[in-house]
Chains A and B, each alone.
Chain A
Amino acid sequence: MIRVLASHGVAFRQVSKRFGSVQALRPLDLDVLPGEFLTLLGPSGSGKTTLLNIAAGFLDPDGGRFLIGDRDVTALPPRSRNIGMVFQNYALFPHMDVFENVAYGLRVRGVSASDLRQRVEAALAMVRLDELGGRGIHQLSGGQQQRVALARAMVIEPDLLLMDEPLGALDRQLRKHVQLEIRRLHVEEPRTTIYVTHDQEEALVMSDRVAIMRDGRIEQIATPAALYENPANAYVATFLGESNLLPVQVLGTEGEQTAFSLEGYDGIHHLPRAGTDVPPGPALLLARPETIRVAELDAPGIGAMVEETVYLGELTATRIRLARGQQIWMRAMNAPPRAVGSEIRIKWDPVKARLLASEPTE
């Protein structure tokens, strides 16, 4: 079994995989930095689980390589890669108690009895299950079982931690609780981690970086904040958080600004150029609900009518119909509720709004 120094990064180089006629992964490259918590986020069929299984060694890629640190491990079976895996259905060994489950990987490695006991107890303490070593796994709740699975994966000090939608079987409250636990553990002992989920909220809470996947490709990989504020395309924009997308016509760049007109409306608008320019032609304006404001009486704005207001506690969400028929949402804190049917004029925050390339909707 190879033993690389702890906290090596991992890398996928041109990894591709096909199942029959389905291309699950197009050749892709991905680097995970040492000690980084990277989440693969996407719907089912996006290839995220396939990528994870290739990292684990349960699947052979059709092409490409996978490296842990500097070593090409593509040809190595899972048992030689020194990985820790956590599954959605916990996969705890039913005929062993909690202690034996956590100790399994250490026994395989021939750790001495006293060392073993110490490390298992430390691992259980780390996930806050100190006194439960002797319990049978059937006596534990779902959340406890998942924490045992975590302890089992981490006690062997793996070079790479892999988690496949581990919280999918837990109810909402518990999920949030365990998310924070995992985050805490990661902060205490940063370990290169690849985490797979389809829950965008989870991805945002836990990750250093998130890779959004679709149809076997990585659409964008960035920190949660960067993804939210500067999505690369409409898919990413709609995948993370609420969004309003309005069709526009980009006219061209004028100095530091891009000029565009809203489809079906008069007037030319401007936005500061941010990152890559969108070429002239049809495009989309991304204006998240919290960036929509009611325009002052004399200031420029788009005419609209209030259709519905939804009270969300500290927020009020308002559904508005624009003059040409598009529906968008507006969110504001402590905003006075608007009467349904009332006519207002709205504008978007020019700092936060973004122009995105037009593409077929998902």
Chain B
Amino acid sequence: MTAQGATSQGDSALTGPARNQSTARALMTIGLLAPALLFLAAWFLWPLVQLLMLSFSAPEGTFSAYVALMESSVFRAVFLNTLQLALFVTVICTLLAYPAAWLLTRVRGFWFSLALYCVLVPFWISVLVRTFSWMLLLERNGPVNNFLIRIGATDQPLRLLFNDFGVSLGMVHVLLPYAILPVYAAMLKVDSRLLQASDGLGASGRTTFMRVFLPLTLPGVWAGAAFVFLLALGFFITPALLGGPRNLTAAMLIDSFVNERLVWPMAAAASFILLFIVLVVLLVVSRFVALGQMVLAK
């Protein structure tokens, strides 16, 4: 090839070698992603596909497992209970998360680290340990009852465990950090000049809060609430340990289908119904909230 500018040489010949660099880059990208994606395909997707097929493999007919579940009053009651519990826990968590997150934005230095650790350390600690500690605290002869008796709030030890109260308390405790962090993140993003502007325009503290601060932090609130709700729907350990016979959750039901009654198609079908609800909620929420910020709150 001459060093002169070649205007008439076919463009395809000229771009041939240049293409190799971008193909090389693409291959590298695929190579980097392949291990993780293959692993997920084999160890996550494939077992779920197997489970899906199981859900259609009841001897009575392809959809009989689903039908049986829909028709079963027990199953409906359990699912309803799961939803109600999740909703209740979400509301409580959200209400409690707001002042806690606000406190986090207002403290500095040592107090800030302390406050942050109060949220992060429980976040890291096993759900089993946290649930067990509530069992120890709430039992008939436990410190909570002893304290209540001592201060005269009651004569007899209260039944704080193996009922709605115990389960709700335990779940709120476990899920609170998931509610606090997104709200905190949203609060950090609020430009304090907006609050100053509102103040400067003569608005009262309450008005500034209601009409400026609260609306701006609402996306974080929704994100936290959605996160808590989704996690609560699938809860197993905490309701199993802290709940009574009336506090059966969907996850516990699925466990009993597998480990006690050995009805795999029912277990599989129930799982997919649960998953369906989770995905619907996720879809609805994702239209209003940036999910990215949810997951980054760790």
Bound complex: CA of A65 vs CA of B4, how far in Å? 11
4 A-B pairs closest in CB distance: A75-B17, A29-B5, A60-B18, A74-B18
Cβ A77 vs Cβ B5 within 8 A: no
User: Given A63-B11, A65-B14 in contact, is the A13-B21 Cβ separation under 8 Å?
Assistant: no
Q: List 18 A-B contacts (CB under 8 A).
A: A11-B3, A14-B6, A14-B14, A60-B18, A61-B15, A61-B18, A62-B15, A63-B11, A63-B15, A64-B14, A70-B3, A72-B17, A74-B14, A74-B17, A74-B18, A75-B17, A75-B18, A77-B21
User: Given A14-B14, A65-B14 in contact, is the A60-B3 Cβ separation under 8 Å?
Assistant: no
Quick check: is A57 within 8 A (CB to CB) of the other chain?
A: yes
Q: Give 1 or 0 for each of A70-81: 1 = CB within 8 Å of chain B CB.
A: 101011010000
User: Given A63-B14, A64-B14, A65-B14 in contact, is the A75-B20 Cβ separation under 8 Å?
Assistant: yes
Which residues from A are CB-within-8-Å of B5? 13-14, 29
Cβ B1 vs Cβ A72 within 8 A: yes
Sample of 18 further A-B pairs with CB below 8 A, known A29-B5, A74-B17: A11-B3, A13-B5, A14-B5, A14-B6, A14-B14, A57-B21, A60-B21, A60-B22, A61-B15, A61-B18, A62-B15, A64-B14, A67-B3, A70-B3, A72-B1, A72-B17, A75-B18, A77-B21
Determine chain B's interface SS by DSSP, over half rule: helix
B1-39: which have CB < 8 Å to A?
A: 1, 3, 5-7, 11, 14-15, 17-22, 24
A228 CB to nearest B CB, Å: 27
Cβ A60 vs Cβ B19 within 8 A: yes
Interface residue tally on A, bucketed by range:
10 to 19
Cβ B6 vs Cβ A75 within 8 A: no
Which residues from B are CB-within-8-Å of A75? 17-18, 20-21
A31 CB to nearest B CB, Å: 8
B255 CB to nearest A CB, Å: 50
Which residues from A are CB-within-8-Å of B7? 14
Bound complex: CA of A57 vs CA of B18, how far in Å? 10
User: Interface on B for A, CB 8 Å cutoff?
Assistant: 1, 3, 5-7, 11, 14-15, 17-22, 24
A91 CB to nearest B CB, Å: 20
Which residues from B are CB-within-8-Å of A63? 11, 14-15
A111 CB to nearest B CB, Å: 27
A1-57: which have CB < 8 Å to B?
A: 11, 13-14, 29, 57
Among residues of A, the one whose C-beta sits closest to the C-beta of B4 is A13
Bound complex: CA of A29 vs CA of B18, how far in Å? 17
Which residues from A are CB-within-8-Å of B3? 11, 67, 70
B118 CB to nearest A CB, Å: 34
Bound complex: CA of A13 vs CA of B5, how far in Å? 5
**Number of A-B residue pairs at CB separation under 8 A:** 35
Which residues from B are CB-within-8-Å of A29? 5
A314-350: which have CB < 8 Å to B?
A: none
Bound complex: CA of A342 vs CA of B4, how far in Å? 59
Bound complex: CA of A57 vs CA of B22, how far in Å? 11
Bound complex: CA of A62 vs CA of B11, how far in Å? 9
B18 CB to nearest A CB, Å: 5
Max chain B C-beta neighbours (<10 A), residue from A57, A61, A64, A70: A64
Among residues of A, the one whose C-beta sits closest to the C-beta of B9 is A14
Cβ A77 vs Cβ B22 within 8 A: no
Among residues of A, the one whose C-beta sits closest to the C-beta of B5 is A29
Bound complex: CA of A334 vs CA of B70, how far in Å? 99
Among residues of B, the one whose C-beta sits closest to the C-beta of A54 is B18
A114 CB to nearest B CB, Å: 36
Among residues of B, the one whose C-beta sits closest to the C-beta of A66 is B18
Among residues of B, the one whose C-beta sits closest to the C-beta of A70 is B3
Among residues of B, the one whose C-beta sits closest to the C-beta of A9 is B3
Which residues from A are CB-within-8-Å of B22? 60
Bound complex: CA of A357 vs CA of B288, how far in Å? 57
Among residues of B, the one whose C-beta sits closest to the C-beta of A64 is B14
Among residues of B, the one whose C-beta sits closest to the C-beta of A72 is B1
Which residues from B are CB-within-8-Å of A72? 1, 17
Bound complex: CA of A62 vs CA of B18, how far in Å? 8
Bound complex: CA of A60 vs CA of B11, how far in Å? 14
Which residues from B are CB-within-8-Å of A64? 14
Among residues of B, the one whose C-beta sits closest to the C-beta of A67 is B3
Which residues from A are CB-within-8-Å of B1? 65, 72
Among residues of A, the one whose C-beta sits closest to the C-beta of B17 is A75
Bound complex: CA of A61 vs CA of B17, how far in Å? 10
Q: Give 1 or 0 for each of A250-286: 1 = CB within 8 Å of chain B CB.
A: 0000000000000000000000000000000000000
B99 CB to nearest A CB, Å: 41
Bound complex: CA of A361 vs CA of B240, how far in Å? 77
Bound complex: CA of A29 vs CA of B7, how far in Å? 10
A194 CB to nearest B CB, Å: 17
Which residues from B are CB-within-8-Å of A77? 21, 24
Bound complex: CA of A70 vs CA of B5, how far in Å? 13
Bound complex: CA of A74 vs CA of B18, how far in Å? 6
Which residues from B are CB-within-8-Å of A11? 3
A20 CB to nearest B CB, Å: 16
B24 CB to nearest A CB, Å: 7
Bound complex: CA of A32 vs CA of B166, how far in Å? 80
Max chain B C-beta neighbours (<10 A), residue from A60, A62, A63: A60
Which residues from B are CB-within-8-Å of A13? 5-6
A307 CB to nearest B CB, Å: 43
Bound complex: CA of A29 vs CA of B17, how far in Å? 19
B193 CB to nearest A CB, Å: 29
Which residues from B are CB-within-8-Å of A61? 15, 18
Bound complex: CA of A112 vs CA of B1, how far in Å? 37
Among residues of B, the one whose C-beta sits closest to the C-beta of A69 is B3
Bound complex: CA of A70 vs CA of B3, how far in Å? 7
B222 CB to nearest A CB, Å: 35
B17 CB to nearest A CB, Å: 3
Q: Give 1 or 0 for each of A87-117: 1 = CB within 8 Å of chain B CB.
A: 0000000000000000000000000000000
Bound complex: CA of A60 vs CA of B24, how far in Å? 12
Which residues from B are CB-within-8-Å of A57? 21
